[in-house]
Amino acid sequence: MTPAITGFGSALPDTAEQTELWHGFFAAHFGDSALARRLFSAVGVHRRHTVANPVEEDLSGWSTAARMRRFDEQAPPLGHRAVRTALSAAGLDPQEIGLLTVASCTGYGTPGLDIKLAGSLGLRPDLRRLFVGHMGCYAALPALGGVVDFVAARGQPAVLLCLELTSLHIQPPTADPQQIVSHALFGDAAVAVVVHPRAAGLAVTDLVAFTDTSGLDHMTWDITDLGFRMGLSPQVPDVLARHLGPVVGDLLDRNGLDLADVTGWAVHPGGPRILDTVEETLGLPAKALRESRNVLAEHGNCSSATLLLVLHELTTSGMRPGSHVVALAFGPGLTLYAALLRVTG
């Protein structure tokens, strides 16, 4: 059997309403800018989850070292909860796991989150571990590809955890529209999946990648003395539109499928313009990206964890065995990853 996702688990910090964030902090932070007000209401986010709610504490002047200490406090318990939930959903004991892969671009330290989780979860001492760092929003798919390869080669179940605490990287006041958009979009989440070699679930059948290095400066995530700083060019949707059709077409063609054979679409909701671009470029019906838009509204953009939230929502929508799903994620590079999955019964 093809390795399949058999369990999902998520752990979310406290909820913060978008309007409360604006009126309680960001309006003053951005000097009551009309542009900032417009962007905050236009990004499609209704609420987010944060370990550091700026209404209650302003981290914008914190050093990167202080932010990493907070990551080290907050990330392990969230990751633990997410993985435990995924293992329970898959009906597996921690001792059955052969590989733990952790993806994050928002916090670092050694011993890392993967080692700490191996201890707190009671994973076996000969466990293989892999940390995927600083890839950004698309990291879930290359990380999932590595997990699937391990499961297929070794015949052992594995866990992937995507954990992002973007709220730790709030930046000092600025008039830069790219910074305003990122502060309006991003939230925190920990999401884990279990991949099993011989069980029904969401089978991962193929994966493709495409990177346009002419857009290296279009999406950036720079480490500064005051946390990590996002760069987000408005040209990103236009660049993606040029490559999206050929990449998805190649993925489907080599598996003997076309667009009409795809039942579900799990698209990383980098923002409403990204989702509109995917919809228009591929000629998808409005309801095709319903789950992606729901996740954006309820969670914001949680970087690498977001796509797993969308996949989980899709799996609860009642898709029949044999249904095909295409997952799409985008990030720095500019990079586009696409995966083909199939519901097995």
Could you give the number of structural domains in the chain? 2
Mean pLDDT of 219-225: 95
Q: Which whole number is the average pLDDT over 268-295?
A: 96
Mean pLDDT of the chain: 96
Residue 44 domain boundaries: 4-196
Same domain for 184 and 206? no
Q: For 179, how many CA atoms within 13 A lie in the half-sphere containing its CB?
A: 16
CATH number of the domain where residue 215 is located: 3.40.47.10
Look at residue 74 in the predicted model and tell me its pLDDT: 98
Q: What is the pLDDT of residue 206?
A: 98
Residue 18, CA atoms < 13 Å, CB-side half-sphere: 24
State whether 131 and 17 are in the same domain: yes
Q: Among 164, 196, 228, which residue terminates a domain?
A: 196
Catalytic residue (one of 105, 137, 162, 302): 137
Q: For the segment 171-198, what is each residue's pLDDT rounded down to a tens digit?
A: 999 999 999 999 999 999 999 999 999 9
For residue 237, give the nearest of 138, 330, 134 by alpha carbon. 330
Residues 28, 151 within the same domain: yes
pLDDT mean over 259-267: 97
pTM tops 0.85: yes
Cβ(167)–Cβ(75) under 8 Å? no
For residues 69 and 99, membership in a common domain is answered with yes
Domain end: 157, 173, 196, which one? 196
pLDDT of residue 234: 87
Containing 113, the helix (H) or strand (E) segment is: helix 113-121
pLDDT for 1: 75
Q: Which DSSP helix (H) or strand (E) runs through 180?
A: helix 177-185
In the chain, what percentage of residues exceed pLDDT 70?
A: 100
Note whether 335 and 209 are same-domain residues.
yes
Judged by DSSP in three states, 336 sits in strand
Q: 286 falls in which pLDDT band (50, 70, 90)?
A: confident
- Angle between helix 64-90 and 113-121 (nearest 10): 40
End-to-end CA distance of the chain, in Å?
A: 12
Q: Are residues 19 and 115 in the same domain?
A: yes
- Are 138 and 108 contained in the same domain? yes
**8 A C-beta contact, residue 137 and residue 331:** yes
Q: Is 137 a catalytic residue?
A: yes
List, in sequence order, every residue forming a beta bridge with 265; answer none if it has no partner: 326
* Count of residues in the chain: 345
- Do 151 and 23 share a structural domain? yes
Which of 196, 219, 244 represents a domain boundary (last residue)? 196
Residue 183 and residue 211 in one domain? no
Are 108 and 43 within one domain? Answer: yes
The verdict on 136 and 227 lying in the same domain is: no
pLDDT of residue 257: 98
Q: Are 313 and 294 in contact, with CB atoms under 8 Å apart?
A: yes
Question: What per-residue confidence (pLDDT) applies to 318?
Answer: 85
264 and 298: one domain? yes
